[in-house]
Amino acid sequence: MKRLVILGGGESGVGTALLGKEKGFEVFVSDKGKIKEKYKDVLINNEIAWEELQHTEAQILNADVVMKSPGIPDKVPLVKVLVEKGIPVISEIEFAAQYTSATIVGITGSNGKTTTASLAHYILNKELDVGLAGNIGDSFAKQILEDDFKNYVLEISSFQLDGVVDFKPHIAVITNITPDHLDRYNYNFDAYIASKFRIAMNQTTNDYLIYDADDPVLVDWLERHPVQSQLLPFSLVKPIENGAYLEEDNIKITIDNNQIIMSARDLALEGKHNIKNAMAASTVAHLLKIRKQTIRESLENFQGVEHRLEHVLKINKVQYINDSKATNVNATYYALESMSAPTVWIVGGEDKGNSYEELYSFVNTRVKAIICLGVNNEKLLQNFSNMVDVIVETQYMSEAVKIAYKLAEAGDNVLLSPACASFDLFENYEDRGRQFKDAVRNL
């Protein structure tokens, strides 16, 4: 009996444990932290061995294969020892994919992947049997075990891609690549880019890669590292023969001379970046033979994802907007770009080696006050103190929202778009977003 050891007892870990047990592995789950009660219950009910608050090496180094949670860096000593011993260390996506013959759409990128994956799933779900997994919802492994969908849309992070060997999506999407998570890649941007492109590394000429042709990072990388897949670029600024582009407010998607034309004005989602997300998701749908009418209607009705430019409430003619999912500078760039009114901006958190220069023009023209919400705000103060009349610091979301309420006037926006990770003051970006929404509702 082969031994499967799982590092990390969260959603992907427990899903993998269930699938592994079903496939005849001897399974052991080890978590250095505490395992949440709901996951513990599942492990106990399924008689799967587990431990928490420690990694017992004797129980781990005898594995035939190890599935590592994406939150655990490769440079952790235990992981290094496993690799030195020649024990495969893979991600949940890699482990689970071998047990399904479904058509897989894999979506990655620094920004826009959750919206693009959710939108693609929303469209496909109208006509196909399709699951949504990866970085989102129930784990991929668990869905293969319980639902066995014929198609999957997977939102995949670079950390998950670092652990793939044979994984091959039929359709891959790379929304964009901007510096993010560089602390995990030794501050080497090329290493991070290479990690994202692992999504296409096993693709053949029968597979497709959809990507942003306006992103110089992607275009340059593809020129230097050609892939086997058929390329379907999308662009806001230039005509595309095979792929998608914008022409006079119309989205045009062409695949093998079969064209769809849709008005970009009718999109439920606002902002230029969402036209790109819509192009990517629609290209996926067009490839999978979804009817044009279904694609159009879906784009008009899709309301977006929680914590991504989510309109919370209007109070005294001030719009409060939750963009807690903006965990990097580029995501905040899109948020500030889409602000058409003077904005009180709540920013800050755990800095991942950010450079804020690309935000300067928006801060100078659209931001009237800044509220820094982090343990260490030194870098924000250095960058933005001279640009706005008011810049204040706090470590409490409730206080940040109260200050914003005092500073904002009728017609203004209050925008939470942190540009940073949330781990210094919050459990995760969802926790940060929910606290913001609760604080706004309590005003």
Which strand ranges, in their side-by-side order, compose the sheet holding 208-212? Answer: 130-134, 151-155, 103-108, 171-174, 208-212, 230-235, 243-247, 250-255, 258-263
Consult the annotation and say whether 111 binds a ligand.
yes
Consult the annotation and say whether 113 binds a ligand.
yes
- The single residue listed with the structure tokens 């901007």 is 178
CB neighbour list of residue 180: distance below 8 Å, 6 or more residues apart:
110, 192, 327, 328, 330, 352
Q: To 10 degrees, the CA torsion angle through 232, 237, 241, 244?
A: 50
CB 343 within 8 A of CB 359: no
- Give the span between the Cα atoms of 414 and 322, in whole angstroms: 9
Consult the annotation and say whether 32 binds a ligand.
no
**CA 420 → CA 181, 185, 322, 436, distances in Å?**
10, 17, 14, 15
Consult the annotation and say whether 349 binds a ligand.
no
CB 121 within 8 A of CB 130: yes
At 81, list the tokens: 């020892």
CB neighbour list of residue 347: distance below 8 Å, 6 or more residues apart:
332, 370, 371, 372, 373, 380, 417, 418, 419, 420
State the first-to-last Cα distance of the chain, in angstroms, to the nearest integer: 59
Consult the annotation and say whether 243 binds a ligand.
no
Pairing of strands 258-263, 250-255: antiparallel
Consult the annotation and say whether 112 binds a ligand.
yes
- Give the span between the Cα atoms of 96 and 64, in whole angstroms: 16
Residue 103 in 3-state DSSP? strand
- Give the span between the Cα atoms of 434 and 412, in whole angstroms: 21
Consult the annotation and say whether 23 binds a ligand.
no
Could you list the residues known to form a binding site, using ranges.
109-115
Could you list the residues known to form a binding site for ATP, using ranges.
109-115
